[in-house]
Amino acid sequence: MQIVRTILWVLLFAGLMFFSFFNWKEVEVQIWTNMVLETKVPALVIVSFLLGMIPTWLLHRGTKWRLTRRIKTLEAAARIPQVAPAEPGYGETMDSAETTPEPAPTSTYSPNTPV
């Protein structure tokens, strides 16, 4: 992908140089009624290109920065936290905490025994 971007920039630069070579003429740009700017055509084209490209590029970079921050926040929230094992209660030792409790007593009621 980097090579494609480099080729496009080289072609753009070569086209701009070609355009500049054949259009090196002075033009008058009237900004206000009493203010006239005399400049070359290539300078006018380059300034116009930059005036269109820079705000779009800044918008792209801001969006990319915001989305990168959002992705990092979501990834941090999705990460499973490491839970420390529970400590034994007051008066218990590790041996008694690990043993299984006694089963609950069963009822002695039987439907066939007389009351």
Quick one: how many helices (H) and strands (E) in the chain?
A: 3, 2
Per-residue pLDDT averaged across 15-34, rounded? 92
> Which residue is it, tokens 């269109």?
52
Residue 84 lies inside a defined structural domain of this protein: no
- The domain in which residue 71 lies consists of 7-77
57-91 residue pLDDT tens: 999 999 999 999 999 999 998 887 777 777 766 65
Using pLDDT thresholds of 50, 70 and 90, give the confidence band for residue 100. Answer: confident
Report DSSP state, residue 99.
S
Q: Is the pTM of this model over 0.85?
A: no
Residue 103 lies inside a defined structural domain of this protein: no
Residue 13 lies inside a defined structural domain of this protein: yes
CA angle, corner 44, sides to 7 and 59, nearest 5?
A: 60
Residue 96 lies inside a defined structural domain of this protein: no
Residue 49 lies inside a defined structural domain of this protein: yes
